[in-house]
């Protein structure tokens, strides 16, 4: 068993790959001779797989898990964790935005007994102001809504002891909001700070629509407040409506009927129809996720494994390639 497993999800990273291996392996050599690099090819449509295959053939420490299609970073990461066998595991991005030079610092803390070492971004100056604004907003909303507090400016780049990795692997849900899952398992964490660099090559796979859905995933997986709020809202509105009803009846009895208010009637109807639709929409968000969970499909499918020994393959029978 290697001491350290590095897990890298890769989607269309043919340009970033060479630089990645050079820099990471230069650092790893100084840390431990016993390491493995688990590359998860997340259905890339460029030469990523071919290059990974060549790399794995020339270097036994590089192992490749080829997913059957693009499953998204979070699931690719889970697939990597499932295949990592090291005593310590570090997920890292292929674009070198997580500087590998932080790895020795994390390893030092791990050797001193830490089970979980988080790499925290010192600041977000390498992001655009809009990205910073939305990120801060999302963190704020999260801290209000969800129970396990998500540490700010901490991504997937972290060191996990085998015990922590096994804990993460026990969470079966299909909607993999890793930040939340990592927070949920707890464990005392040590922190090392780092500066996030600009992407080394290629381009980001995120856009604001994806980020929005990512945030929705996070909130619905870790809070039921958006569901529960509607009964209170409905109750409050009903009270107001009763009071207004009483007032209208009394007014009509005392002063008689005046010209009916078409405009106010119309706005009230439209407003409350809007509110009801939002309520139904929120239920829909949860329902669709329940549906995904209930179908209980496997999280990912592996179409090929390169560089693993036969023993390692049989350890994950659920997802192992059919013989």
Asked if 100 and 21 touch (Cβ cutoff 8 Å), the reply is no
How far apart CA 105 and CA 117 sit, in angstroms, is: 9
Residues 45-74, one symbol each (x = binds ligand UDP by CB under 6 A, - = not), give -------------------------x-xx-
Q: Comparing C-alpha atoms, which of 235, 211, 237 is closest to residue 141?
A: 211
- Other beta carbons within 10 angstroms of residue 274's beta carbon come to 10
- DSSP lists the bridge partners of residue 39 as 8, 64
Site for Mg ion in 281-310 (CB under 5 A): none
Residues 23-42, one symbol each (x = binds ligand UDP by CB under 6 A, - = not), give -------------------x
- Shortest gap between Cβ of 7 and ligand UDP (angstroms)? 10
Token pair of 246 as six digits = 């009483």
How far apart CA 237 and CA 72 sit, in angstroms, is: 41
Cα 255 from chain centroid (whole Å): 62
Query: Residue 95 interacts with ligand UDP (CB under 6 A)?
Result: yes
Considering only residues 23, 174, 205, 289, which one is a binding residue for ligand UDP as defined by CB under 6 A?
Answer: 205
CA angle 87, 176, 40 (to 5 degrees): 55
Query: Residue 98 interacts with Mg ion (CB under 5 A)?
Result: no
Query: Residue 204 interacts with ligand UDP (CB under 6 A)?
Result: yes
Query: Residue 206 interacts with ligand UDP (CB under 6 A)?
Result: yes
Scan for tokens 């119309």, then name that residue.
266
| Radius of gyration (C-alpha) of the chain in whole angstroms | 25
Query: Residue 97 interacts with ligand UDP (CB under 6 A)?
Result: yes
**202/234 with CB nearer ligand UDP:** 202
**211/275 with CB nearer ligand UDP:** 211
Specify the stretch interacting with Mg ion by CB under 5 A; choose among 45-53, 95-103, 162-170, 303-311: 95-103
The 3-state DSSP class for residue 259 equals coil
Q: Comparing C-alpha atoms, which of 92, 94, 95, 89 is closest to residue 107?
A: 89
Query: Residue 2 interacts with ligand UDP (CB under 6 A)?
Result: no
Query: Residue 94 interacts with ligand UDP (CB under 6 A)?
Result: yes
Residues at the site binding ligand UDP, with contacts judged by CB under 6 A: 9-11, 13, 42, 70, 72-73, 76, 93-95, 97, 199, 204-206
Residues at the site binding Mg ion, with contacts judged by CB under 5 A: 93, 95, 97
């Amino acid at each position: 068993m290697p001491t350290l497993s590095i897990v890298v999800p890769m989607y269309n990273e043919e340009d970033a790959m060479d630089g990645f291996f050079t820099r990471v392996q230069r650092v790893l050599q100084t840390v431990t001779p016993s390491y493995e690099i688990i590359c998860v090819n997340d259905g890339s449509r460029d030469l990523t797989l071919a290059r990974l295959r060549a790399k794995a053939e020339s270097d036994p420490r590089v192992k490749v898990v080829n997913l059957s299609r693009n499953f998204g970073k979070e699931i690719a990461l889970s697939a990597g964790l499932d295949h990592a066998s090291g005593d310590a595991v570090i997920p890292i991005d292929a674009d070198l935005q997580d500087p590998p030079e932080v790895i020795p610092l994390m390893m030092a803390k791990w050797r001193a007994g830490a089970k979980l070492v988080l790499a925290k971004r010192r600041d977000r100056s390498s992001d655009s102001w809009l990205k910073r604004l939305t990120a801060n907003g999302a963190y704020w909303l999260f801290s209000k809504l969800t129970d396990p507090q998500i540490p700010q400016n901490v991504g997937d780049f972290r060191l996990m002891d085998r015990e922590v990795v096994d804990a993460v692997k026990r969470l079966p849900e299909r909607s993999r909001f890793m930040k939340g899952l990592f927070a949920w398992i707890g464990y005392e964490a040590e922190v090392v700070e780092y500066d996030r660099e600009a992407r080394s090559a290629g381009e980001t796979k995120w856009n604001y629509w994806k980020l929005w859905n990512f945030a929705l995933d996070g909130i619905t997986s870790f809070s039921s407040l958006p569901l529960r709020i509607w009964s209170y809202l409905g109750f409050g509105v009903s009270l107001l409506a009763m009071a207004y009803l009483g007032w209208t009846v009394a007014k009509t009895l005392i002063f008689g009927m005046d010209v009916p208010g078409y405009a106010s009637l119309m706005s009230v109807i439209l407003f409350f129809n809007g509110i009801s639709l939002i309520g139904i929409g929120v239920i829909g968000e949860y329902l669709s996720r329940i549906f995904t969970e209930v179908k209980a499909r496997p999280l990912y499918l592996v179409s090929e494994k390169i560089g693993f020994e036969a023993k390692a393959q049989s350890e994950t029978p659920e997802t192992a390639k059919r013989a």
